[in-house]
Amino acid sequence: MASSDGLPVAGFRLAAVSAGIKVPGRLDLVLMELAQDSTVAGVFTRNAFCAAPVQVARQHLAATIPRYLLVNTGNANAGTGGAGLADARRCCEAVAESVGVAVEQVLPFSTGVIGEPLPVDKIQAGIAAVCAVLGEENWAAAAEGILTTDTRPKLASRHLELDDQRVTLTGMAKGAGMLRPNMATMLAYVATDAAIAQPLLNILWTQAVEISFNRITVDGDTSTNDAAILVATGQAAAAPITDEGDPRCAVFAAALQELVLELAQGLVRDGEGASKFVAVKVGGGSSEQECLQVAYTIAHSPLVKTALFASDPNWGRLLAAIGRAGIADLDVDKVDVLINGVLIAESGCRAASYTEEQGVAAMAPSDIHIEIRLRRGDARATVWTSDLSYDYVRINAEYRT
């Protein structure tokens, strides 16, 4: 099986079927089955208006170790009040009854339209079908089945060696709009057959999410339904990793971070209407926090984003965004701006060496690397974003979230 189809992870079976939730025939119901004795870490949206399945998933995860993850697309089950909570639980019950586990061992996830009642009957009807086709080879179908406005699945895999034993990491994610730090309309599921102790798994997952999914933004909007789950089935031959001091922990953490960064960047590349993939790297700050503040102000500026769409080396808009980022005592007369390696602004002015031709050439590629040098310290941070295009407006003016 090719790596691009998602390498199978021992002890993690999954499947996708069409339950006809919104569009007939489209894969819209995904079930994942975790081997007994797996460890599971979860991170959820910080939006105060969080969807019913997020509330239920948090409760269930706190109560016990899950055995099943159930995802539907086409309906977010958000803004649905007490009825929505009951609906999310009924979906979990349907799985629990079908496979013979406790209802708390099922975590529900939903993504799609906000404020519509969840079609529980359709989901219930699909559960027998999806249970029947569970398998370790179904990552590609599942990655397809969790999509909404995404144009393509995001799937990534790694092999690594721990104790000379091969370990596998495979993950999938969805989310193309409503993306921003603190999670997006984003669902992400990563599984490994390594054995990782529960407290350590939580730490590794929080760290990995922080530098990947929490460093991307398409439009600054945060979803009500975000969730990211890491599962370690422990079915590989390598001995369990139980603490950060274990040298294998760093090896695993590096592979995990690389994998989720690939997924996160894949979300930005498939951002709604995106024609550019943009890294905004801010260095020379007094703190990582201020670097992030500058980077996000740039990444969220509609004027910067429309200039990116136009491939316009408009450094004035970049400097204006830096200037309004709210950094105390910022001396804009020290700031340098580089686009794809070309020094465009130096010490707050157009660089003496800069020509408009250089700028136009620097902005032409679809991958743009903006580098800001604040020249007041040693801290740095990078976020990834996309441009603001006609298609972003079209997609969001037509699509009922």
Beta carbon of residue 135, minimum distance to a second copy (angstroms, whole number): 35
Beta carbon of residue 363, minimum distance to a second copy (angstroms, whole number): 12
* The one segment of 103-111, 205-213, 250-258, 348-356 that binds a second copy by CB under 8 A: 348-356
| Residue 111 in the binding site for a second copy (CB under 8 A) | no
Catalytic residue (one of 73, 185, 192, 233): 185
Question: Per DSSP, what are the bridge partners of residue 334?
Answer: none
Nearer Cβ to a second copy (162/307): 307
Nearer Cβ to a second copy (224/233): 224
73 is catalytic: no
d(CA 254, CA 113): 36
| Residue 43 in the binding site for a second copy (CB under 8 A) | no
> Is the separation of the CB atoms in 303 and 321 below 8 Å?
yes
Nearer Cβ to a second copy (80/168): 80
d(CA 15, CA 34): 12
| Residue 135 in the binding site for a second copy (CB under 8 A) | no
Beta carbon of residue 79, minimum distance to a second copy (angstroms, whole number): 5
| Residue 274 in the binding site for a second copy (CB under 8 A) | no
Of positions 129, 197, 239, 303, contacts a second copy by CB under 8 A: 303
d(CA 150, CA 134): 24
| Residue 253 in the binding site for a second copy (CB under 8 A) | no
The 3-state secondary structure of the chain, one letter per residue = CCHHHCCCCCCEEEEEECCCCCCCCCCCEEEEEECCCCEEEEEECCCCCCCHHHHHHHHHHHHCCCCEEEEEEEECCCCCHHHHHHHHHHHHHHHHHHHCCCHHHEEEEEEEECCCCCCHHHHHHHHHHHHHCCECCCHHHHHHHCCCCCCCCEEEEEEEEECCEEEEEEEEEECCCCCCCCCCCCEEEEEECCCECHHHHHHHHHHHHHCCHHHEECCCCCCCCCEEEEEECCCCCCCCECCCCCHHHHHHHHHHHHHHHHHHHHHHHCCCCCCCEEEEEEEEECCHHHHHHHHHHHHHCHHHHHHHHCCCCCHHHHHHHHHCCCCCCCCHHHCEEEECCEEEEECCEECCCCCHHHHHHHHCCCEEEEEEECCCCCEEEEEEEECCCHHHHHHHHHCCC
Nearer Cβ to a second copy (47/192): 47
Of positions 333, 341, 357, 378, contacts a second copy by CB under 8 A: 333
Beta carbon of residue 217, minimum distance to a second copy (angstroms, whole number): 11
| Residue 188 in the binding site for a second copy (CB under 8 A) | no
| Residue 389 in the binding site for a second copy (CB under 8 A) | yes
| Residue 114 in the binding site for a second copy (CB under 8 A) | yes
| Residue 352 in the binding site for a second copy (CB under 8 A) | no
Beta carbon of residue 146, minimum distance to a second copy (angstroms, whole number): 19
Q: How many residues bind a second copy (CB under 8 A)?
A: 61
| Residue 300 in the binding site for a second copy (CB under 8 A) | yes
Nearer Cβ to a second copy (338/345): 345
Beta carbon of residue 44, minimum distance to a second copy (angstroms, whole number): 13
| Residue 316 in the binding site for a second copy (CB under 8 A) | yes
Of positions 164, 357, 378, 398, contacts a second copy by CB under 8 A: 398
Residues making contact with a second copy (CB under 8 A)? 46-50, 76, 78-81, 113-115, 177-178, 182, 219-224, 300-303, 306-307, 309-310, 312, 314-317, 319-324, 327, 330, 332-333, 345, 347-350, 388-390, 392-394, 396-398, 400-401
